Structure 1
């Protein structure tokens, strides 16, 4: 049975929520049983004002003063006096640097007399601080916290999952990687929200004839895809058109107008759902992550966590160093079977062809001798399944949660806010 680490914290951590919805970080620390007190009335003690952002661009909206109107009388004075820290909770997203949004946030903070160094922006993107400081120097504090990966780790955990999320019970009954011993090899690739790398990947599968070998979902541009409005597939950005124009040629003739699904209940794109039946039918998975062409973003989402937890060898279609991040979290990455050199290519126009080459090579090896593929992958596959059940949650606690708790405790004791 897994056990979440408990770091020694001498000071009580006072979290003061402002606004009602979207307190992701506070919820996560509560699930983990951390020593926090959530209160609306902190008195004269040092305290952390937790303000939900929900969507990064809201920080730049003139409405509600970029979310700062959620603060209550006296909050700004406590921030100026050093008794409070303002934690902007964006642990549900991992945006890149968007200068107009930060400049609006700076103006709004200045209008309330709140020093920038009393403000902590919590996101999933580990690069955001570096890009911010290149442009603005010291100012806001940046912490990293990945809410949805942590939520899924709790859900996958053999002890915590049934206790915390009984209404979303994960049925692992009979699941094992490579359960289907006979028949042709198959790979899995799931795509829901419309993004440029998914459009290109889908078309590449078609042109290579791999769509006949794979269990592929692609929700397309029809009305039955509520996430189809993110891009206009008929007008690619210049950099994507320049690099991948041939793949996008005549897009109107091949882009699906109706969602092509593999899940009967239409639920596998939700956070706490995992179609173990689909994974059991396959030998390789192509993980179609949220981010690819977004510059200055390094993160993984729950999509990678769930795929790795099934034990199948994988190729990652995601941000730079996404495979490295899974390794940091304790997962095996099948380096002997899969060429992950694409993981270190920062330029997406360079990275995507490397991803295509990795998929093609891995699939040729798998399809050429499926039994041998299983033999070579099985030990790592079974280790990943076991890690998701008992090791992932403690590892996330060590590398992500415990450092954040230490920073919060230091603020409570000294009033100092550190990166």
Structure 2
């Protein structure tokens, strides 16, 4: 949408976490951020920051950030309440939504005036299945958009000036000597990453890859995400052989592929040297065992942007999502039959088989692998620099702005 027919008034409440207004500002979209909307239709932007906060008793589940008169404007139809969760993509958690319902009812705020914005496109379907009509759900992916801005050849430098993206001399498959190598980067401790790391070990692949795995030591600030010694029953039942004797093999110190002083961050930096040294990348996404989640994060976009063929260890339809965003997915080299499978215990073995087959092909004839992948790889690098940002603008930003314009002009909220 190049020009809006009406002025969209965004009214921030709270101090930090206004992801969506910031993103629209970066995109140069004509919106007005104001604390004094007057009698015009306006959108109250409430930062959630973390999904579970909506269910916390303190701060009334974030609703105490609203100011006097806000609830009255919501009841009168002059305002809509946007819960900004565009930094996360949770599945439906009934206790959190029930707490949100109670808090809204206590303030007399109609549920149909409330929009929850998250990265997860499945959330609305699960909510309606459980509760019927009520909240509105819109999709907006803050970190993927942030990275698309950063990757874009024209827009990028203005976003992360403290972390310049070094594209100098980068091209996929630039290393034409030595054995094949794969890349797998992991950050926060999650069950699929623990299982993947152990699977690499048991299959001898840890000797052939650049693998980061931060383990459970004190030098991993995200080591407390799970207790690796007490797996959930469904994970234990499905993957007990991989988890056996976990205390003997789980790293107590972070195993990094970058120097500690470099501070490689999964959002703010891209280690092009690591990708340049590899022929295949295994994308260890944020979500795997969480039900009712469909999204990709910046991890996938950055990996796709480097052009290497990839296997996705993530949520269902993550590969399809990258295709929708304009990336080639190397279907002639990689078997992505795992992608539509919703049951994690079935999907992960299929992911393992896909990695195994792709890696065998890559190792057996590295030159042929390069020849077969190069055209798609170079197209993906070019798409990240010139096509990804316009694509996100078309499929994500413009539809959201159209909804906001409709509300501004008519007071009607749509899904």
Common fold: TM-score over 0.5: yes
Partner SS state of residue 338, structure 2: helix
Name 2:102's counterpart in structure 1: 107
Q: Per the alignment, in what secondary structure is the counterpart of residue 166 of structure 1?
A: coil
- The residue that corresponds to 2:36 in the other structure is 41
1:308 aligns to 2:304 (yes or no): yes
Aligned to 2:343: 347
Aligned twin of 2:359: 363
* Structure-2 residue corresponding to 1:402: 398
Deviation beyond 3 Å, 4+ runs, structure 1: none
Alignment of 1:15-414 (within 5 A): 15-264=10-259, 265-414=261-410
Alignment TM-score, normalising by the size of structure 2: 0.99
1:15-73 per-position Cα deviation (integer Å, ceiling 9, x unaligned):
00000100000000000000100000000000000000000000000000000000000
Shift of the alpha carbon at 1:90?
Answer: 0.2
Aligned length: 414
Return the alpha-carbon distance in structure 1 between the equivalents of residues 36 and 79 of structure 2. 12
In the aligned structure 2, how far is the partner of 1:361 from the partner of 1:165? Answer: 38
Equivalent pair of 2:266/2:299 in contact (CA under 8 Å) = no
Q: Secondary structure at the match of 1:51?
A: strand
CA distance in 2, matches of 1:120, 1:188: 39
1:165-220 deviations in Å (ceiling 9; x for gaps)? 32221110000000100100000000110000000000000000000011101000
Q: Measure, in 2, the Cα distance between the counterparts of 1:263 and 1:53.
A: 33
Contact 2:3 2:30 (C-alpha < 8 Å) held by counterparts: no
Q: What CA deviation, in whole Å up to 9, does each residue of 1:137-184 have, x standing for no partner? A: 000000000000000000000000013332221110000000100100
What is the CA–CA distance in structure 2 between the aligned matches of 1:81 and 1:167, rounded to whole Å? 45
Alpha-carbon distance between aligned partners in 1 of 2:270 and 2:159, rounded to the nearest angstrom? 17
Q: Distance in 2 between matches of 1:247 and 1:128?
A: 31
> How many angstroms apart in 2 are the aligned matches of 1:350 and 1:266?
37
State the TM-score, normalizing by the size of structure 1.
0.98
Does the aligned pair in 1 maintain the 2:41–2:408 contact within 8 Å? yes
- Report how far residue 272 of structure 1 moved: 1.8
| Alpha-carbon shift at residue 266 of structure 1 (Å) | 4.6
SS state at 1:343 partner: coil
Preserved contact between residue 82 and residue 117 of structure 2 (Cα < 8 Å): yes
Query: In structure 1, the residue corresponding to 2:267 is in which secondary structure?
Result: coil
Are the equivalent residues in 1 in contact too, given 2:326–2:388 (CA < 8 A)?
yes
1:53-101 CA distances to partner (integer Å, 9 max, x unpaired)? 0000000000000000000000000000000000000000000000000
Conserved 8 A contact 2:187-2:266: no
Gaps of at least 5 residues in structure 2 are none
